[in-house]
Amino acid sequence: MTDRLIFTAALNHPRYGEMAMGLGRSLKLIGDTTPRAIVTNIADVDWYECFDYVFPPPPDLHSAFWSKFTAFDLIDAKRALFVDADCLVFKRLGPVFDAFDGSCVGVQGHWANTGEWYGCDLPEFCQRHQLKAIPKFNGGVIYYENGPEFEKVIETSKQVADQFDSYGFGRVKSAHTKGSVPEEPCLSLAMAQTGLGTVIDEEANFHNSAVGLVGKLNLDVRTNNCSFLCRRYELQRVEPYIFHAHFYSKFTIYWKQLKVLENLSKYEKDHGFGYMSPTHKLSRSIQKRILRLTGKL
């Protein structure tokens, strides 16, 4: 049995394969050794470069969104952290597992009973369903633990999905998944109805998608720099563990980082341990002579 598992999915479109490889390469680059698994139907990708386990999607998959909850159907693990394929990781994820330890389901967000979410008026919704509030979160990162409580939350989520339109939430509008039932409000309502799961405050910054960006998005996998100002609920400087590209997958800065990661992967394959370039060797030779002349060597 695997104690901890990082889990992702890349389905149907080749662009998701590129994204998932970027995620895997970013985890390798920062030295995160947590076992990694992926569900994918995308061929002609060397998945085992970055992932320990590679699975085809289950034949009874509820929808593409629900693939993120299938880790325990495919591998014997105690705890799983689902990370969307369009994410890049800048810090090792052990503290995220530690923070959610003991929770059947864990998300980063807040309990909400005001405003709108997925086109639904939350005050009216909570009153109609006799709920004080529901968790409002981005499902790009979701933690879950193997056991009957997790199964209960997911089963309740799927029951919500089966009657989704009756709740007043809107369906997905993005091109590749247009018209699909989103898993976030389904899981949210299930957590509220069952009283199970943990919601960790946004300030933990385990993940952030730079919504409300103020100024420049600093994103560079070579220097392990992901930092920016954003105005969500409060103006805040953010250095997240995980950058969820989401909206910024439509900006070149994200795709440039994927290319950098690809090139670094090629470099690793083509150069052995301790490789020193001819330029580096020449520089060392010149500097050694200078140090000898100055009596340092």
What pLDDT is attached to residue 213?
96
Helix/strand/coil percent split, the chain, to 5: 40, 25, 35
* Residue 99 burial class via C-beta count within 10 angstroms: exposed 0-12, middle 13-18, buried 19 and up: middle
What pLDDT is attached to residue 129?
93
Q: Are strands 87-89 and 242-244 parallel, antiparallel or unpaired?
A: antiparallel
What pLDDT is attached to residue 1?
82
Spatial distance between the Cα atoms of 123 and 116, rounded to a whole number of angstroms? 8
Q: With CA atoms as reference, report the closest residue to 87 among 267, 262, 264, 241.
A: 241
Question: In this structure, what token pair is assigned to residue 173?
Answer: 């509008």
Q: E-strand spans in 73-201? A: 77-83, 87-89, 105-112, 116-117, 120-121, 134-137, 141-145, 198-200
Question: In this structure, what token pair is assigned to residue 62?
Answer: 């509820």
* Residue 37 burial class via C-beta count within 10 angstroms: exposed 0-12, middle 13-18, buried 19 and up: buried
- Profile the chain (297 residues) by mean pLDDT over runs of 10 residues: 95 94 98 97 95 89 77 96 98 98 97 94 95 96 98 95 92 71 94 97 94 96 97 91 95 98 96 94 96 93
What pLDDT is attached to residue 234?
86
Q: Are strands 77-83 and 141-145 parallel, antiparallel or unpaired?
A: antiparallel
Edge to edge, the sheet with strand 242-244 lists 87-89, 242-244, 207-208
Three-state secondary structure call for residue 278 = helix
Q: Which domains, from first to last, does the chain contain?
A: 2-213+240-270 (3.90.550.10)
Q: With CA atoms as reference, report the closest residue to 173 among 119, 210, 213, 222.
A: 119
Q: Are strands 198-200 and 141-145 parallel, antiparallel or unpaired?
A: unpaired
